[in-house]
Amino acid sequence: MDASQTELRRTGMLLHLPPDRWEMLSAVPHEIRRFGAREAISLKGEPVERSLLMLGGTMGRYISRPGRDDRQMVALQIAGDFVDLHAFPLGMLDHDVRTITPVTLALFEHRVLREVVERSPDLGIDLWRLTLIDGAIHRHWAFRMGAMRALSRMADFLCEMDLRMRLCGEGEDRGFVLPLTQSDLADACGMTPVHVNRVLRDLREDGCCTLSAGRVAIHDRARLASIAGFDPSFLFVEPDGSGYRSLFEGGFRS
């Protein structure tokens, strides 16, 4: 939402860390940094020596090939996401990381992550788990692109963001802030901006949701989820545990 947050909060995907381990991590030295909109933070192939935890704002991860105009967003990151934690074991990225809005980030040096993980192997497993949920989301994106058509694809993407935004405390029943242009949506969903426009019109005229001024207004969540065939299990949020239950009522169960 706004990127003015400077304090670390256990929210969104970070809820997958047990509270005591989150204490441990947030006590570790880190730097708070802000970046502007539409800035490249890391580029594919560069060595990376710190990982970024999102406190506020929106950023994307992109794969593209030089000389071809087929850029594809492979992840959209919001508050609570550990954007490139996978660079910690890997040492470099296979994709670019760019801001979309201005963002506030906490930078964790891999050196200090290594130390804290050696002190607490359990926290190591927790961080590992975070990167694996990231992987599950990637699998879902592959599924979405490969097996769904444009309308369902968009609906499914919006359902994912709706749920994730609510998990990080920035979503309401009526909708959520999604500061993407139709061109960004096209990058995310593997279609052209023109077709995004038409698909959004269809969803609007269907009474599902309206997208305008960087906000998604959800009018009929059940209908949207049904068009998407949405099944949130890939996010590994437990309907019964840790206070997520209420999020699953009202149309999110297939």
Partner DNA sequence: CGTATGCTTGAATCACGTCAACTGATGTGG
Partner DNA sequence: CCACATCAGTTGACGTGATTCAAGCATACG
Q: Which residues bind a copy of itself (CB under 8 A)?
A: 44-45, 47, 61, 63-66, 68, 70-72, 74-75, 86, 89-92, 94-95, 110, 117-118, 121, 124-125, 128-129, 131-136, 138-143, 145-148, 189-190, 229, 231, 233-234, 236, 253-254
Of 26, 120, 131, 182, the one binding DNA by CB under 7 A = 182
Instruction: Give the integer Cα–Cα distance in Å for 58 and 74.
Output: 14
Taking the complex as a whole, how short is the minimal distance between the CB of residue 225 and DNA, in angstroms?
A: 19
Closest CA to 13 of 168, 171, 125: 168
The alpha carbon dihedral of 207, 245, 86, 26 has a sign of positive
Interacting stretch for DNA, rule CB under 7 A, among 80-88, 180-188, 220-228, 233-241? 180-188
Nearer to DNA, 169 or 214 (CB): 214
Nearer to DNA, 131 or 226 (CB): 226
Please answer whether residues 209 and 224 qualify as being in contact, where contact means their C-beta atoms are separated by less than 8 angstroms. yes
Instruction: Give the integer Cα–Cα distance in Å for 23 and 120.
Output: 12
Place of tokens 């065939």: 229
Nearer to a copy of itself, 88 or 176 (CB): 88
Taking CB under 7 A as the criterion, which residues in 187-226 touch DNA?
A: 190-195, 197-198, 200-201, 212
Instruction: Give the integer Cα–Cα distance in Å for 254 and 228.
Output: 9
Place of tokens 């097996």: 147
Looking at residue 1, its amino acid is M
- Contact residues toward DNA (CB under 7 A) are 149-151, 181-183, 190-195, 197-198, 200-201, 212
